Amino acid sequence: MFLFILVSLLFGVLIYFLFNIRSFFNRKSLRLPPGPKPRPIIGNLPHMGPMPHHSLAALARTYGPIMHLRLGFVDVIVAASASVAAQFLKVHDANFSSRPPNSGAKYIAYNYQDLVFRPYGAKWRLLRKITSVHLFSGKALDDYRLVRQGEVAVLTRALASAGLKSELVNLAQLLNVCTVNALSRVMLGRRVFGDGTGGKDPKADEFKSMVVEVMVLAGVFNIGDFIPSLEWLDLQGVAAKMKKLHKRFDKFLGEIVEEHKMNIHDAKGKQTDLLSTLISLMENPDDGEEKLTETEIKALLLNMFTAGTDTSSSTTEWAIAELIRHPEILTRVKNELDSVVGRDRLVTELDLPKLTYFQAVIKETFRLHPSTPLSLPRVAAKSCEINGYHIPEGSTLLVNVWAIARDPDEWAEPLVFRPERFLPGGEKANVDVRGNDYEIIPFGAGRRICAGMSLGLRMVQLLTATLIHAFDWDFPSGLTPEKLNMEEAYGLTLQRADPLIVHPRPRLTPKAYEV
């Protein structure tokens, strides 16, 4: 078997070299960005390490903020500073508006039929328009404000009940159920999990594990993506796991779509949720628009139920963990919440703009714990020059969001959780997270910026403010804030290595928890 693999590898290298010999010699005369010397065939894949955003940040300290790596047969450009990121995502944004081929998009995301990985073009713009108008516009967000607040209130009641019973809770699981149900009520007109009491649901636990597995598999640097001749061997077993996981998601999403079609028929087309709109566009597209296919609808739902939920819940979990570890900051946030909201009701979204210090806490959480630490890859449509370096056509671009937000040239004491930096008079008082200030871009920037940024911001703010305002938090016996594990788990998104297990203690008047 080893001999067979070796022969296949050598044959693949030979074929690749013969087809690319001209460009190989042309590249010798061009000035590529600096980077570590690649090894034969596999290139710099070993340099990626178990935590690629950490490894690439360390390499940038040696080779500079714009690096060239060779992963297998693929040129990879890494941006690791705010100024370099702005060159790619602002000045040259149009040239880097599509995604490179990758196994995750092929085997999980319906072979590039989704919004996140679909190549830039007319169909991508249609999907982006649909979600922007019906789900993420200011009007849509305002229309469904009470839905989000209702689901957060359900979560709060469940936590209060657990607190009165002196029970420990897995905050990650409950946050995920809340974000999924808040989104599904807008998208589908109903909850996906639970009975509205906020209690445990085995299906929700299974779904959470599926989402985490997606993020882990999508974060793997799959050898087949970088050495195409070896893709069919699936040396890491990644493709097989992706295909198996895709079947589980397809079953889950297919049942949702079929059930919805039946409900639309029974309601004689009166439903107004996003999925009803998508189904109508599949059957009767707008003038001049292409028809949506059922596969595209399921692919879009997959994006929403994975990237649109777990990122918000995990960021909230990081925020709570940081505040528990910094009691003086936590006290200041609680005092601000009590002053603005009082103790007789829960926080609403209308309260959030009034919470100046709290807003700084959220920005600082996004800085230290960006939900996607290494940006989703982009690809160069044509060669270009950036900062005096040649960027080859077909290069994969990775922006190290995590490293940029911890760059000591941009941030004073970059590893310290210090919200004051975003307050008036602070070093970054006017910096925001919405993609215009490149030193902190947790949602990306440019035309491929996260479509759900506005919703994600609202959910993280509402969830975090409510949990801090409504509860005091204790740890299991023997654990102190100083001993709390703040390590990251491997994956496309920034999960905690250990879920936050805590005991909530209600701190508001009893009527505040009545739903």
Checking if the pLDDT of 2 tops 80, the result is no
Write down the pLDDT at residue 22.
47
If 0-12 CB within 10 Å is exposed, 13-18 middle and 19+ buried, where does residue 184 land?
A: buried
Bridge partners of residue 240, in order along the sequence: none
pLDDT in tens, 468-493: 999 999 988 878 888 899 999 988 88
Q: Where are the domains of the chain?
A: 122-513
Alpha helices (H) in 219-326, listed in sequence order: 223-226, 238-266, 274-283, 294-306, 310-325
pLDDT in tens, 123-148: 999 999 989 988 899 999 999 999 99
Write down the pLDDT at residue 1.
55
Does the annotation place 450 within a ligand binding site?
Answer: yes
Checking if the pLDDT of 219 tops 90, the result is no
Q: Three-state SS across 367-428?
A: HHCCCCCECCCEECCCCEEECCEEECCCCEEEEEHHHHCCCCCCCCCCCCCCHHHHCCCCCC
pLDDT in tens, 224-276: 999 988 899 999 999 999 999 999 999 999 999 998 888 876 656 566 788 98
Average pLDDT score over residue span 450-469:
96
pLDDT in tens, 82-129: 999 999 999 999 999 999 999 999 999 999 999 999 999 999 999 999
Of 41-50, 211-220, 277-286, the range with the highest mean pLDDT is 41-50
Q: Please give the distance of CA 62 from its chain centroid, rounded to a whole number.
A: 28
Count each helix (H run) and each strand (E run) in the chain, helices first: 18, 9
Q: What CA–CA distance (Å, rounded) separates 232 from 469?
A: 53
Q: 306 to each of 158, 183, 252, how far by Cα in Å?
A: 23, 11, 13
Give φ, ψ of 301 to 5 degrees: -60, -40
pLDDT in tens, 317-367: 999 999 999 999 999 999 999 999 999 999 999 999 999 999 999 999 999
To the nearest whole percent, how much of the chain has pLDDT over 90? Answer: 75
Tell which wins on pLDDT, 198 or 342.
342
- HSE toward the beta carbon, residue 131, CA cutoff 13 A: 23
Q: Which CATH code fits 122-513?
A: 1.10.630.10
Mean pLDDT, the chain, rounded, equals 90
Checking if the pLDDT of 15 tops 70, the result is no
Write down the pLDDT at residue 86.
98
pLDDT in tens, 402-429: 999 999 999 999 999 999 999 999 999 9
Handedness of CA 162, 186, 358, 375 (dihedral sign): positive
Write down the pLDDT at residue 490.
82
To the nearest whole percent, how much of the chain has pLDDT over 70? Answer: 91
Checking if the pLDDT of 279 tops 70, the result is yes
Write down the pLDDT at residue 335.
98
Average pLDDT score over residue span 55-71:
97
Average pLDDT score over residue span 38-57:
94
Alpha helices (H) in 119-144, listed in sequence order: 122-131, 138-143
